[in-house]
């Protein structure tokens, strides 16, 4: 006797062979077809920068490594639900990775690097989402006024902006991480956005 399966058998077109020159979307299609070598290519392509960026969120390299492991396992298990957007999967993978790190940090002993040290990194993207001319504003090196506006925010406001806007966490996740009630996260987020709009107006 076999256990009942609620999944219907899936017939998928056989994905093309993958190579280091395949783009992320082709690799994801191959991962959805349970091709381990495609996952490895994705891992080798994205793990180094993910690690660098996650290490700026959490000083414990073991927790970062665990988060990266969880991320690619989640990619493997969820590849069928992936829908290609944009040029590559980097933003999608980052969202998964930072969520994984956030949930690891929720466990005892986890250490989210305080906003004071890192909130500044949030500024560029925060501004990017608030502004309409996203791409030009993103390059904060050339557009210092946004950076300045964000830098003038209080550390508490920047922490909220960092967790929600830059790292893409939900209000609930941010509230757990920062140890403040969800309502406070929401009000701080609104205040931060309003202040940025004023400064950039």
Partner 1 sequence: MTPTVTVRGLRKRYGHTAVLDGLDIAFGAGVTGLLGPNGAGKTTLLRCLATTLAPDAGELRVLGLDPATASGRTGVRRRLGYLPQDPGFYPHFTVFETLDYVAILKEMTDRRERHREVTRVLAEVGLADRARTKVRKLSGGMRQRLALAQALLDEPDLLVLDEPTVGLDPEQRLRLRALVSRLGESRTVLLSTHQTEDVAALCERVVVMDGGRILFDGTPAGLAAVAAGRVSLGDHRPGPGALFWRTADGRYRTIGDTPADAVPAEPTVEDGYLLLVGRTQEAA
Partner 2 sequence: MTTGDWHIPPGLLERYLDGSLDPVGVMSVEAHLVRCARCRTAVPADGGWLATSWERIAAEVAAPAPPLTERLLHGAGVPGHLARLLAATPALSRAWAAAVAVALGFAVAAAHLAGHGFLAFLTLAPVLPTAGIALAYGRRIDPAHETYAATPMAGAPLLLVRSTAVLLTALALTALAVPLLPAATMPSVAWAWLLPALTTTSGCLALATRVPLPLAAVALGGGWVAVVTGVGAVTGDRTLPFRPGAQVLYGCAVALLTLVLYVRRHRLDPAEPR
Using CB under 8 A as the criterion, which residues of the chain lie in contact with partner 1 when the complex forms?
2, 66, 69
Question: What does R_g of the chain's alpha carbons equal in angstroms?
Answer: 19
- Nearer to partner 2 by Cβ, of 102 and 124: the residue is 124
90 scored as a contact of partner 2 (CB under 8 A): yes
Closest CA relative to residue 126, chosen from 161, 155, 157, 175: 161
Interaction partner, residue 40 (partner 2, partner 1, none; CB < 5-8 Å by kind): partner 2
DSSP conformation letters of 169-186: --HHHHHHHHTS-HHHHH
Interaction partner, residue 168 (partner 1, partner 2, none; CB < 5-8 Å by kind): none
- Separation of alpha carbons 81 and 57, rounded Å: 27
Question: Could you tell me which stretch among 11-19, 138-146, 173-181, 192-200 binds partner 2 (CB under 8 A)?
Answer: 138-146
46 scored as a contact of partner 2 (CB under 8 A): yes
Considering only residues 16, 17, 48, 183, which one is a binding residue for partner 2 as defined by CB under 8 A? 48
- Which residues neighbour 182 within 8 Å (Cβ) at sequence distance 6 or greater? 171, 172, 175
How many residues bind partner 2, per CB under 8 A?
47
């Amino acid at each position: 006797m076999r256990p009942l399966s609620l999944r219907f058998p899936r017939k998928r077109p056989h994905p093309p062979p993958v190579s280091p020159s395949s783009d992320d979307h082709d690799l994801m299609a191959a991962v959805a077809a349970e091709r381990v070598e495609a996952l490895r290519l994705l891992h080798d392509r994205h793990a180094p920068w993910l690690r660098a960026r996650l290490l700026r969120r959490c000083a414990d390299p073991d927790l970062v490594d665990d988060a990266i492991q969880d991320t690619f396992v989640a990619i493997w298990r969820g590849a069928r639900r992936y829908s290609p957007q944009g040029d590559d999967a980097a933003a999608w993978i980052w969202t998964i990775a930072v969520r994984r790190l956030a949930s690891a940090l929720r466990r005892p002993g986890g250490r989210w690097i305080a906003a004071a040290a890192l909130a500044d990194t949030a500024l560029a993207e925060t501004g990017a989402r608030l502004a309409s001319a996203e791409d030009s504003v993103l390059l904060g090196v050339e557009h210092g006024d946004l950076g300045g506006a964000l830098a003038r925010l209080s550390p508490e406001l920047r922490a909220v902006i960092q967790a929600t806007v830059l790292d893409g966490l939900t209000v609930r996740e941010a509230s757990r991480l920062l140890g403040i009630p969800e309502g406070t996260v929401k009000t701080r987020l609104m205040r931060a956005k309003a202040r940025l709009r004023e400064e950039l107006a």
